[in-house]
Amino acid sequence: MVEFTDTVFQIADLMPGDGIDQETIRDAVEKMLRAFGEDPNREGLQKTPDRVARMYDELLAGYRTDPVALLNDAIFEVTYDDMVLVRDIEFYSLCEHHMLPFLGRAHVAYLPRGYVVGLSKIPRIVDMFARRLQVQERMTHQIAEFIQELLNPLGVAVVVEGLHLCATMRGVKKHDARMTTSTMLGAFRSNLATREEFLNNISRGSNPIL
């Protein structure tokens, strides 16, 4: 069985504690409502601070995800080294610059070197990094580095396609703009044929973000 290294936990960037400070968030939301010119005591807004606090506890759960519990011993020994690819993994995250959502799909592949991880764990790894304040470039790299450190495969490839509401709702207001980021490690960086196989696989019949 693969042992968890200190690097795995460092990449996961865990935050101590069982949850976010919901009381502080509730107070802050109430102050924001007043700053907007609203009345936090009117019927439609009375429960809004509590709803927002519970929402952020869910949307930012990635800070407190324990990678050991997440993987739950779902790492298995294998004797093959063919590409493993999970594509079109939906994700939702919050941009750290404006705290507006960005969402899209992630495509993750690796070449096993003695070990594979259970299929459902790849989307869970994506969620662990997506459910925090993020930038897409860093999230893409974190996913790849985590899998590299976890399995020590021959290579890892991650491509993320995102729609950023900070660029559609405000600022430049470009509704059709999509951002694509990629991280290629090991054989995916050094071997053109391997990289092209991965890119060809994720381009066939790709689902639109929205």
Q: Which of 134, 148, 161, 164 is catalytic?
A: 164
Number of Cβ within 10 Å of residue 68's Cβ equals 12
CA-wise closest residue to 92 among 58, 122, 44, 64: 58
Q: Is there a catalytic annotation at residue 142?
A: no
DSSP secondary structure of 152-171: --SEEEEEEEEEEHHHHTST
* Token reading at 69: 């519990």
Catalytic residue among 38, 90, 98, 197: 98
H or E segment and range at residue 107: strand 101-111
- Active-site pick, 134, 136, 142, 148: 136
Residue 98 is a catalytic residue:
yes
Residue recorded with tokens 């993987």: 71
Q: Are 27 and 49 in contact (CB under 8 A)?
A: yes
Of these residues, 10, 23, 77, 96, which one is catalytic?
96
Active-site pick, 30, 95, 141, 145? 95
Instruction: Note if 95 is an active site residue.
Output: yes
Residue 107 known to be catalytic: no
Considering 22, 38, 166, 197, which one is annotated as catalytic? 166
Active site includes 164? Answer: yes
Backbone phi, psi, residue 92, to 5°: -135, 130
Catalytic residue among 10, 23, 77, 97: 97
The catalytic residue positions are: 95-98, 136, 164, 166
